[in-house]
A = this chain, B = another copy of it.
Amino acid sequence: MKIGVRIMPRNEVLDTQGRAVEKTLGHHDFKVRCCRVGRYVEIDLDESDERRGLDQAQKMTEFVLHNPLIERYELEVIHEK
């Protein structure tokens, strides 16, 4: 099964990439209130139980993917079409 991990900069943290995108869009007449840029990681696991899959993905995320000081994350099961 595939688990998706969305890792975003915390709201209190200055997001330089997001600011750059906001500026560029603004210069081209797109109207954006705010833009934040984070990461998305797809983890493919040898596991069929959703709860166990999410549990493993959470351990992996906290171990290597996520910096709790500056980021927040969310997990989701990816249901493929």
Contacts and interface: CB of A to CB of B under 8 A. Distances in A.
Interface of A: 4, 6-8, 18, 21, 24-25, 28, 30-46, 56, 59-60, 63-65
A43 B64 CA distance: 26
B59 A32 contact: no
Contact of A41 (B28, B37, B46): B37
Contacts of A43: 32, 34-35
Nearest to A64: B24
Contacts of A65: 21
A65 to B, nearest CB: 7
Contacts of A33: 44-46
